[in-house]
Amino acid sequence: MSAPRVTATDWALFFVCVATWGSAYAAVHVALQGGASPWTITAARMWMGTLLLHGILWAQRARNGEPLQTFTITPRLVLLGIAGGTAPFALLSFAQLYISSGLTGILAALTPLMVGATAPLIAPEERLTVTRVIGLLLGFAGVVVLTGPAAFAASGSTMLPGILAATGAAASYALNALIARHGEPIPPLEASAGWTFWGALLATPFMLLMPSASPPTPVAWLMIALLALGPTALASLAYFRLVRTAGPGFLTQANYVLPLWAVTLGVIAFGERVEPNMFAALVLIGLGLFTAQGGWRVFRFA
């Protein structure tokens, strides 16, 4: 079986994921400043997202005269909720108590490498070719260049717990991509509604144990609502469509572009400085995506 052919629609959905997930950093930043705790943001955005998605799903099923089926595929949806939401969100929050956000981003960018190494086990068409390995390594190098040496400065007494937590989050995201790819296809809307429900349910106890110190401001709730609409609901629909049409290896390369998008948004929204390493990272990440997807074949002689 040949590797999935990446279409223009796939690329469009890929950048929808990048834009929404990458914008989440800025929205979380504003929500935290507005008094919301990390677990309040996590649980609330998933509850809002799952209510929106279930509302759309209910309307679709009612129009077609079909019953809801999210509970018939519960085991996979629970796993997706844990591996794609509760576990990595908790691990990344814990990691940043010990290491810088830059180093956390570098370790999270291990996800495409992990998926590239393991995807052929469940999807033989996801071959780990030499050019794909080179592309993945170029993309990872771009993330390292983007964050710079300051990323490796310790922010706690020891870096080891943070490194282990961030690496665990990357592994969790990789596992989530493989679970989504394995088995019978789940319609994107049903998969999105299901995993957000179980992710929200599993995150709620943490929100109750670690609530916000003071009531979040209206601006914080607005940011949480935007997180629910874009990075949670819209990106989830694009995610489950892409993991089937283009494969998990292609989709997880968004982890390389996300830091670049987040830094660019920081420049635009918060007036942060444009550093020379941003341009070098842009070249490396772009070249990595181009190489991993076999873009060089366009220039071959017939």
Per-residue DSSP letter, 192:
H
**Paired tokens of 83:** 């591996």
pLDDT tens track, the chain, 302 positions: 455 677 888 889 888 888 888 777 778 878 888 888 888 888 999 999 999 999 988 888 777 766 655 555 678 888 888 998 888 878 877 776 777 666 677 777 778 888 877 777 766 666 777 877 888 888 888 877 876 766 666 555 577 788 888 889 888 988 888 888 777 778 888 888 888 999 999 989 988 988 878 889 999 999 999 999 998 899 899 988 888 888 777 777 777 777 777 777 767 766 766 667 777 777 787 777 777 766 544 444 43
- HSE at residue 158, side-chain half, CA atoms within 13 A, is 4
Domain ranges of the chain: 8-296
Per-residue DSSP letter, 211:
-
Indicate the SS3 state at residue 23.
Answer: helix
Rg (CA), the chain: 19
